[in-house]
Structure 1
């Protein structure tokens, strides 16, 4: 039986429908908002695994080109591996939903939201978040939801709910907020230097809408919800748990505060190994072994949190607002266009900037339409950065962290008109112990400034954490990996000295009060300004000259009716210029001409040639000309590419001469003055009027 619920948001109707399509899934929802439609399904495996210490959840968001009436490009005319955008939306859905599944369910869960209609006006990602939650909520999969998502943009001082693509383009703040009826659990977005107060207002407005969107999912569950499957409760307990705990706890209290990440892990491992040896026979059982390790993690959790809440002491000895030592270096790599090494404690990013041309721009072929980006940031997290052996490659983590760093820097990157280069920043994480994405923001700023990129302002980022027991709380600046893993909130803030440019937050508890959020934002600002001050000591403005190894780019504007003359019949003229000066010339419909050369001389010479082609000869002006042909009555001289005039023999010398060849030779460079353009458009030139009475050549 088909059931549906509706809700009006931003003046448009949101429809959630089930019972017609994909009925064999554990849960399926057909969600429509204006002309955009997402079908979300939720399925689970038939068997459960007892004692799983993680949630085996997979979210696979995908977009079909037919949704927008398009056929995929390339030779293979079908959708293939996930695009970066699809991976980023999958993460937007996964992050707020994952904490609401119970580990004791013990079964694989797969959520597949598919965009099957796109109106090119309303982004389908928010619809996918809502549809995914609704599909799980009405299914028999245990879920402590529902959740909902909403996008908030700021147009001027007005906060817009679920803006269109056009409104997003014009906004100075864009965030995606997800959460439950009880509170916000995830935020992701970017901005153009907005203040902390506006960010908090946006979050509060988003949560009011989220509460209503969760309400309509509850209504749908009341109509068609299935009975939830049972959880797989552990049938065994850790034997001798009290004895093990009493022996290990005091030793762990010392080991957890050893300075240095690897030293600390080694100390904890030594305690664990020693205690395990005493119960070796018991731990041969796989389940007992799992429970033993779970007990140690619980003890670490208690020790870290109680130390912070009771004493304000963190595992590395810092106070709650202290930031680890920071060092910045630039110019490490001799042949790259820009390089920087940013180190904060045991987190280190090597950021490298490469400058390219318009032909190096990133091309996106999405269902919303093709677009180009001239600022690219790639993030790499090799296994050696945490002292491990592992597979190399680009996964969802790399794409997600890279996107956050890119958005954080994007607002401060100059426009193509100001700086006509394609900019690629690569952040190679050399070490990691807390917020390598924010280290990528700091390193990216340093390397771009070193490369001569005229950034509007330097950008820095900081990762913040939260520890709370319900009545007390502590906000932590510059969190470690352990504090992220064992804490209640992880949020990253990037920005300039004047405002926020990037924001990401994940909350593991039911909700965070406005008071806590305000304190966290203020503390993050102080931390960000401290990091910026350290960066500015190394470099705070772009270097005067870009690298000699970077391409040289010259831009100029010509009249649109001159574009044809520059290109020439069949592109003959522009091709000849490219070959003559060893450059590449790109002409746009608005008359912008961009010249890419291997060195400045080639680019500037090509520019002069272009100006010559598109410029109209001016009577009275002196030109550098080239003698093309010698006749009995004078010489024809080219003053501009394709534009020749006659220097009559009488205008070659102040003394009488018998032969033109006595004064000039073909190919000779001479100054000539344009006397007039006659009624037939012919150019009359003079050599003697371009030189002074003593015979020295005149100047332009």
Structure 2
């Protein structure tokens, strides 16, 4: 028998992990199946150590369209660059496995997740981390797992583990949790404004439910796991250097350098102090020959800097910019910053600044989706841009980075929860967050700037939302939770916990933990401190713009929506699209839906109203009893055809033209004559009979067409003499 399969139950469905059958030349390879969703996950590392001074780990999430029986929609009909959902799936796996590689591990490592079957009900993004955990656990790669990852929804007041797509559409929560046997490591969520307690309960539920998967992978490792290769460790000089360097740094002004308020000045002061200390350790003439020792001293200084910053926070409740642990940095806000944008705002918090821009478009502007999901378009777009100048650096600029996509997705989830439905506000909405300055929490500033830009544009949000990034410093039993963290506190702290929401509850969150785990009590305390910080920020936003503007910006386009009989859509389009082209030539875009909904989009309100009037005329339905000032457009032996409104004629029979007998229609009416007429009958084919209102009661009414012999237009009534 080829391969071996391990199974467990997860969320009421079987999860199976098979190894030894596919991709056998790689260090670790598994095939994971959940329902009819299947993933091939491989893990491989280079034998030689990388010269890089960081962990060279890459995680790829590959979607194959054959997994859902589709041919790719690209020009070349093959998969191209990963889409947004694939990149987000890779980030979930990366954030779960990266912290568990050994300290000093520098071997280039690659984890590739390939979706080879997708049933579009069991989502693959949370299965990839499980496959990566299994592949790494049985491989020869040093790694501290296993881990597991699950999704939690809440449907009808009950937590649901790994909800299907259908259940997720009804859920108020979409929470992804990754963890080890003992600790939660990563959390990501979008929510429909839920309480902090609901979030904590869902995290605890997820961690308990993932234990069966962790046990399964431990069994795999025990039975099939390879011996881990040795890391080629180089002599680390820093432990011996740290105590001496720490004493010298503290006596030379390390505290003052760390407590410099401005980021650039702080960095300059710390670098100057470091260089002075290194120069004191190495004679000037030996600097060129002491490259290794200089590198070791720089590393040691970094450790000293981290130790002192953490000491200041824990013992003195003092942070690098002079705040205490619960204080939010100063905020200033400006709206209507760009004259031509539909909505714009600048949100500045300390040394983090984001320009938010909102643009309104038509259905033609929606994002076409060509991935493995059931979605085919997206009507809300949020793009987060992080240029190098925002951190005072020079870097190569290219396409959007994975970090930008991840941060943008978090902000998008936070704001999406408060958007009106498309039926309530029929615009495609794009928000752009341009990060102009960054010193921590730029994604949360994007939530604030994006919300303000949407309100500035007049988008009727259910409630304003704001975001705040929380940090943590923990040593043994002593800890300090930090509100609105700086970039330095993110780098040297133990947690990055971003929380977004309105005054009513949470709409999105993301948590990455760098230590063994935090207790539910600490998590509750962090969420409560985040709630207080969020309400403070919302208050500052309300001082500038408390609610969406009552009117759209003058530069924003207008959308007029009308409903027509679906059977008359063809009249609006016209032969070969001739009619709709003529309508759009009036200065508008038109979209039509199968249910008869017509949306007219124009930057010129008068043009939109003109097109609306034309369409209403084209699709107007005649009703019995209505009167019109009509025009004769054709005559026949039996009567005259009268145009009532564009595209609709009725017939006035010769017997209904005069009190006197009429021998020829032309004796009374000619083409081009105008007269008032009234509808007296509309048959099942839409044919209309007319009378002259002033003659009603004076001449005998004509029998309805369906009651006439043959139902034709000919014949005369008996003479009335």
Give the TM-score of the pair, scaled to structure 1.
0.91
Could you give the per-residue CA deviations for residues 409-468 of structure 1, whole angstroms, max 9, x where no partner exists? 111111111111110000000001111111111101100111111111111111111111
Could you give the per-residue CA deviations for residues 627-648 of structure 1, whole angstroms, max 9, x where no partner exists? 86899x9997644221135899
Please give the alpha-carbon distance, in whole angstroms, between the structure 1 residues aligned to 2:583 and 2:691. Answer: 25
Q: Report the counterpart of residue 266 of structure 2 in structure 1.
A: 264
Counterparts in 2 of 1:95 and 1:678: CA distance versus 1, 3 Å: closer
Please give the alpha-carbon distance, in whole angstroms, between the structure 1 residues aligned to 2:107 and 2:18. Answer: 26
User: 2:613 aligned with 1:608, yes or no?
Assistant: yes
Aligned-partner SS, 1:271: helix
Counterparts in 2 of 1:242 and 1:543: CA distance versus 1, 3 Å: closer
User: 2:461 aligned with 1:455, yes or no?
Assistant: yes
Q: Report the counterpart of residue 248 of structure 1 in structure 2.
A: 249
Counterparts in 2 of 1:168 and 1:236: CA distance versus 1, 3 Å: closer
- The answer as to whether partners of 1:678 and 1:684 remain within 8 angstroms in 2 is no
Please give the alpha-carbon distance, in whole angstroms, between the structure 1 residues aligned to 2:275 and 2:505. Answer: 48
Number of equivalent positions = 679
Aligned-partner SS, 2:295: helix
Please give the alpha-carbon distance, in whole angstroms, between the structure 1 residues aligned to 2:334 and 2:628. Answer: 50
Residue 292 of structure 2: which of 272, 287, 294 is its match? 287
Shift of 1:33: 1.1
Counterparts in 2 of 1:225 and 1:282: CA distance versus 1, 3 Å: farther
Could you give the per-residue CA deviations for residues 232-269 of structure 1, whole angstroms, max 9, x where no partner exists? 32225258655433222332121000111111111111
Q: Report the counterpart of residue 201 of structure 2 in structure 1.
A: 201
User: 2:120 aligned with 1:115, yes or no?
Assistant: no
Please give the alpha-carbon distance, in whole angstroms, between the structure 1 residues aligned to 2:678 and 2:333. Answer: 59
1:414-493 alignment, distance < 5 Å: 414-493=420-499
Q: Report the counterpart of residue 235 of structure 1 in structure 2.
A: 235
Q: Report the counterpart of residue 392 of structure 2 in structure 1.
A: 387
Q: Report the counterpart of residue 410 of structure 1 in structure 2.
A: 416
Q: Report the counterpart of residue 186 of structure 2 in structure 1.
A: 186
User: 2:596 aligned with 1:591, yes or no?
Assistant: yes
Counterparts in 2 of 1:682 and 1:160: CA distance versus 1, 3 Å: closer
Please give the alpha-carbon distance, in whole angstroms, between the structure 2 residues aligned to 1:624 and 1:357. Answer: 38
1:72-87 alignment, distance < 5 Å: 72-87=72-87
Q: Which residues of structure 2 form unaligned runs of 5+?
A: 658-665, 696-721
Q: Report the counterpart of residue 660 of structure 2 in structure 1.
A: none
User: 2:169 aligned with 1:163, yes or no?
Assistant: no
- The answer as to whether partners of 1:3 and 1:220 remain within 8 angstroms in 2 is no
Q: Report the counterpart of residue 515 of structure 1 in structure 2.
A: 521
Counterparts in 2 of 1:271 and 1:624: CA distance versus 1, 3 Å: farther
Aligned-partner SS, 2:210: helix
Please give the alpha-carbon distance, in whole angstroms, between the structure 1 residues aligned to 2:236 and 2:620. Answer: 88
Please give the alpha-carbon distance, in whole angstroms, between the structure 2 residues aligned to 1:526 and 1:113. Answer: 40
1:216-227 alignment, distance < 5 Å: 216-227=216-227
Shift of 1:672: 5.5
Please give the alpha-carbon distance, in whole angstroms, between the structure 2 residues aligned to 1:338 and 1:688. Answer: 58
Counterparts in 2 of 1:687 and 1:437: CA distance versus 1, 3 Å: farther
Shift of 1:588: 1.0
Please give the alpha-carbon distance, in whole angstroms, between the structure 2 residues aligned to 1:245 and 1:625. Answer: 98
Please give the alpha-carbon distance, in whole angstroms, between the structure 2 residues aligned to 1:150 and 1:348. Answer: 35
Please give the alpha-carbon distance, in whole angstroms, between the structure 2 residues aligned to 1:209 and 1:103. Answer: 29
Counterparts in 2 of 1:626 and 1:203: CA distance versus 1, 3 Å: farther
Please give the alpha-carbon distance, in whole angstroms, between the structure 2 residues aligned to 1:608 and 1:539. Answer: 37
User: 2:338 aligned with 1:337, yes or no?
Assistant: no
Which has the larger Rg? 2
Could you give the per-residue CA deviations for residues 593-645 of structure 1, whole angstroms, max 9, x where no partner exists? 111223111212222222222222235545576786899x9997644221135
Q: Report the counterpart of residue 276 of structure 1 in structure 2.
A: 278
Counterparts in 2 of 1:622 and 1:46: CA distance versus 1, 3 Å: same
Aligned-partner SS, 1:205: helix
Q: Report the counterpart of residue 18 of structure 1 in structure 2.
A: 19
Q: Report the counterpart of residue 297 of structure 1 in structure 2.
A: 302
Aligned-partner SS, 1:125: coil
Aligned-partner SS, 1:351: strand
Counterparts in 2 of 1:147 and 1:443: CA distance versus 1, 3 Å: same
Q: Which residues of structure 1 form unaligned runs of 5+?
A: 653-659, 690-700
Please give the alpha-carbon distance, in whole angstroms, between the structure 2 residues aligned to 1:678 and 1:419. Answer: 37
Counterparts in 2 of 1:623 and 1:129: CA distance versus 1, 3 Å: farther
- The answer as to whether partners of 2:624 and 2:682 remain within 8 angstroms in 1 is no
What is the CA RMSD across the aligned residues, in angstroms? 2.9
Shift of 1:674: 3.5
Shift of 1:563: 2.8
Please give the alpha-carbon distance, in whole angstroms, between the structure 2 residues aligned to 1:303 and 1:681. Answer: 90
Please give the alpha-carbon distance, in whole angstroms, between the structure 1 residues aligned to 2:288 and 2:141. Answer: 32
- The answer as to whether partners of 2:241 and 2:300 remain within 8 angstroms in 1 is no
- The answer as to whether partners of 1:104 and 1:232 remain within 8 angstroms in 2 is no
Please give the alpha-carbon distance, in whole angstroms, between the structure 2 residues aligned to 1:322 and 1:621. Answer: 70
